[in-house]
Amino acid sequence: MSISLQPQIDQAAELLRSSKLTVSFTGAGISTPSGIPDFRSPGSGLWNKYDPFEVASLTAFRRHPQNFFNWIKPLVKIARQAQPNLAHTCLAHMEKQGFLQAVITQNIDGLHQKAGSSHVVELHGSAQSATCPHCFKKYGADWLPDSFLLNDSLPLCENCGAVIKPDVVLFEELLPVDAWLEAERLCESADVILVIGSSLEVYPASSLPQTGLQHGARLIIATRSHTPLDEYADLVFNQDLIEVIPNLCRALNIL
């Protein structure tokens, strides 16, 4: 770690030690080191290759399910094979040691849970499960068998025969109410919010750290890109988060 970063790392650790309720707010940047592609990075994001309303909207799922599944199947396969990186693992360690009470995530890959985090609020749903939109039968992690990943067939409900939908929030859909209310409650009560890997540009999720600020939370931001809240944060780290978060854990004597 750069010696010049150590004072900031120590300051962040002190904020966490003095906090009674710390929440982490994570975005795509925490998962890209695990091989999960993000959506908005210039030149490399998925939305540079696809029109989201053509493949990832509720209308697309209903009218052109084959196009939708042609798009999402590779992402599901990548997410299933991906493993948590050190940043995910560090957050799980922080939770176990009492320095972190919850993770609010914009990600749908389930890597926080794989890493061992137990209190995870998924704002945009999860690719690890699915629901039939007609009879509402629930499906677990095996909702898309490996055999379906290799051909153009669609996953059909075993009850009613309808095409089942992964539990991800698509364009034209509202965020899940229970997750949103839980995230809002956490941010309103937090002493510290640790933003990791999010540019804070995707509304309404991006409004949650601002809600925390309005209720007196201290803000630590660790992400490569600049965010609209940088000027209001106590600390901003634009370095590689795989360096920053483990060093924060070392400063807390938990790694």
Residue 124 bears catalytic tag: yes
Q: Is the dihedral of CA 195, 57, 164, 82 positive or negative?
A: negative
Which residues are CB-neighbours of 149 under 8 A, at least 6 positions away?
A: 73, 76, 77
- C-alpha to C-alpha distance for 227 and 27, rounded to whole angstroms: 12
Question: In the chain, what's the furthest Cα-to-Cα distance?
Answer: 61
The catalytically annotated residue of 124, 134, 215, 226 is 124
Give the strand order in the sheet containing 192-196: 120-122, 102-105, 22-26, 192-196, 218-222, 235-237
- CA–CA distance, 80 with 233 (Å, rounded to integer): 34
Give the DSSP letter string of 83-122.
---HHHHHHHHHHHTTS--EEEES--S-HHHHHT-S-EEE
What SS3 state is found at 209? Answer: helix
Residue 206 CB partners (closer than 8 Å, separation 6+): 198, 200, 228
DSSP per-residue codes, 137-162: -EE-TTSS-HHHHTSS---B-TTT-P
CA distance 160 to 148: 19
Half-sphere exposure of 183 (CA within 13 A, CB side): 27
Give the active site residues.
124
